[in-house]
Amino acid sequence: MQDVEDLMQLSGVRDRIPLIDSAMASQFASGFADRYRQQHPNANPAEVQRAATDTAERMQQMLKAIPTDELLDVMTLIYQKYLNNSDIKAINEFYGSPTGQKLLKSMNPMMIEAMQKHIPEIQAQMERAVADESRLNAPSAQLISQVPPVYPPLARQAHIQGTVVPEAVIATDVTVLVIELALPILELALTIWSW
């Protein structure tokens, strides 16, 4: 156990975790800002910055939810599962050598570069989460206008009644463009509302 802790200390694992988290959140926010600009071409710089900042903060919160000590405890168990004491001692000796030190100094930039290549997938997941959250927090639709139905006199005289299921084409501004009914005589009985 002590050899594994020495390995983590020598290799700077604990110190690298916050650096990697920060770099990942920063890179993610930058990529999100680029995608936000593409999806919202009329967005001003302040809106883009706000979206990027919000994304970085959410990413930081997600990463902070993983306690470093717990992560290191799990890593220790995994190291012990795959490496025996002589393996760990040899690795410690390697990290103490000039080549091992060079690897350790290069480790952060290599990890950051690897994460940057994985950012698009993480970004897509975050965007889905933000979109889901936006839908949940969106205000409910409010009725703008209501046109009361006029029951056709012919249908009233014939005592026609029942459920009417219209088929409609609705514009993006939520106005009804086309309405079709199975029984044209009931067309005037349709209530048209705007939201």
pLDDT tens-digit series, residues 137-177: 655 556 666 666 666 666 667 676 666 666 666 666 656 55
* Pairing state between β 192-194 and 176-180: unpaired
Alpha carbon distance 62, 40 (integer Å): 25
The arithmetic mean of pLDDT across residues 37-56, rounded, is 84
- The span from the CA of 178 to the CA of 16, in Å, is 61
Computed on alpha carbons and rounded to an integer, the radius of gyration of the chain in Å comes to 31
27 and 8, same domain (yes or no): yes
Query: Which of 90, 106, 137 represents a domain boundary (last residue)?
Result: 137
What value does the mean pLDDT of the chain take? 75
Q: Give the pTM.
A: 0.39
- Please check whether residue 190 is in contact with residue 164, taking contact to mean a CB–CB distance below 8 angstroms: yes
pLDDT for position 84:
92
Domain boundary (137, 157, 174) is at: 137
Indicate whether 94 and 163 sit together in one domain.
no
Burial of 181 (0-12, 13-18, 19+ CB in 10 A): middle
| Residue 33, token pair as written in the block | 């800002």
**How many domains does one find in the chain?**
2
DSSP letter, residue 146: E
Give CA–CA dist 39/49, Å, rounded. Answer: 14
Which amino acid is located at 183 in the chain?
Answer: L
Check whether residue 26 and residue 118 sit in a common domain.
yes
| Residue 36 CA, distance from chain mean position | 13
Of 88, 120, 137, the residue that ends a domain is 137
Contacts of 127 (CB under 8 A, 6+ apart): 32, 35
Q: Which residues form the domain of 160?
A: 145-194
